[in-house]
Chain A
Amino acid sequence: MTFVRGDTFEERLRGDAPVPTDQVLRVVREIADALGYAHRRGIVHRDVKPSNILLDEDSGRALLGRFRDCPRGRRRGVITHTARRRDRHARYMAPEQAASGRVDGRADLHSLAAVAFRSAGRRIVAVQRGSAALGRAVARRSARPVDSSRHRRSRPRWRSKPDDRPATAAAWLAALGRAEVRPWRPWAAAGVAW
Chain B
Amino acid sequence: MVRSARSAASQFSNSFASGSPALEKLAIDERGGSYPVAPLAQLAEPVAVERHGVRRQPDLIDVSDHSLVPRAARSTRSASLSECRACALVRGHSTTGRSVLARAALARTPRQVHEQRDVLTPQELRRGVGARDGDTQGTSTRQKTGGMAPPSIGTLRPWASARTFSCSYADARLEAVQRAVGDRYQVTEPRGRRRHGCGVPRAPPHARSHRGSEGVPPDVAASAMRHERSAARRTLGASLDHPNIVRVYDFGHAEGSASSS
State whether these chains interact: yes
- A57-65, A93-101, A110-118, A181-189 - interface stretch: A57-65
Q: A4-B212, A41-B239, A43-B240 are in contact. Are A69 and B249 (CB under 8 A)?
A: no
Q: How far is the CA of A69 from the CA of B239 in the complex (A)?
A: 12
Q: Once the chains bind, are B164 and A1 in contact (CB under 8 Å)? A: no
Question: CB of A38 within 8 A of chain B?
Answer: yes
The smallest C-beta distance from A64 to any residue of chain B, in angstroms, reads 5
29 residue pairs bridging A and B, Cβ less than 8 Å apart: A1-B211, A1-B213, A1-B248, A1-B249, A2-B211, A2-B249, A3-B118, A3-B164, A3-B210, A4-B212, A4-B246, A5-B161, A6-B161, A6-B164, A8-B165, A33-B52, A37-B52, A38-B245, A41-B239, A51-B166, A54-B165, A59-B117, A63-B244, A64-B245, A64-B246, A66-B246, A67-B240, A69-B229, A82-B168
Q: Which of A3, A58, A62 contacts B212 (CB 8 A)?
A: A3
Q: Which residues of A contact B236 (CB under 8 A)?
A: 43, 67, 69
Q: How far is the CA of A192 from the CA of B243 in the complex (A)?
A: 24
Q: A6-B165, A69-B233 are in contact. Are A64 and B261 (CB under 8 A)?
A: no
Q: Once the chains bind, are B244 and A2 in contact (CB under 8 Å)? A: no
Q: Which residues of B contact A41 (CB under 8 A)?
A: 239-240
Within 8 A of A (CB), among B5-31: none
The smallest C-beta distance from A176 to any residue of chain B, in angstroms, reads 13
Q: How far is the CA of A6 from the CA of B159 in the complex (A)?
A: 10
Q: Which residues of B contact A (CB under 8 A)?
A: 52-54, 56-57, 117-118, 121-123, 159, 161, 163-166, 168, 198, 210-214, 228-229, 232-233, 236-237, 239-240, 242-249, 260-261
Interface residues on A, range: 20 to 34
Question: CB of A87 within 8 A of chain B?
Answer: no
Q: Once the chains bind, are B161 and A34 in contact (CB under 8 Å)? A: no
Q: How far is the CA of A66 from the CA of B164 in the complex (A)?
A: 15
Q: A37-B242, A58-B123, A65-B246 are in contact. Are A1 and B233 (CB under 8 A)?
A: no
Q: Once the chains bind, are A1 and B165 in contact (CB under 8 Å)? A: no
The smallest C-beta distance from B9 to any residue of chain A, in angstroms, reads 38
> 3 smallest A-B Cβ distances: which pairs?
A69-B232, A65-B246, A34-B244
The smallest C-beta distance from A49 to any residue of chain B, in angstroms, reads 12
17 further A-B pairs in the complex, CB-CB below 8 A; given A34-B244, A37-B245: A3-B118, A3-B164, A5-B159, A5-B164, A6-B165, A30-B54, A34-B242, A34-B245, A37-B52, A57-B161, A58-B122, A61-B56, A63-B245, A65-B246, A66-B233, A66-B246, A69-B236
Q: Once the chains bind, are B229 and A1 in contact (CB under 8 Å)? A: no
Q: Once the chains bind, are B212 and A30 in contact (CB under 8 Å)? A: no
Q: Once the chains bind, are A33 and B54 in contact (CB under 8 Å)? A: yes
Q: A67-B233, A69-B229 are in contact. Are A7 and B165 (CB under 8 A)?
A: yes
The smallest C-beta distance from B65 to any residue of chain A, in angstroms, reads 23
Counting chain A CB atoms within 10 Å of each CB, the highest count among B117, B159, B232, B246 belongs to B246
Question: CB of A31 within 8 A of chain B?
Answer: yes
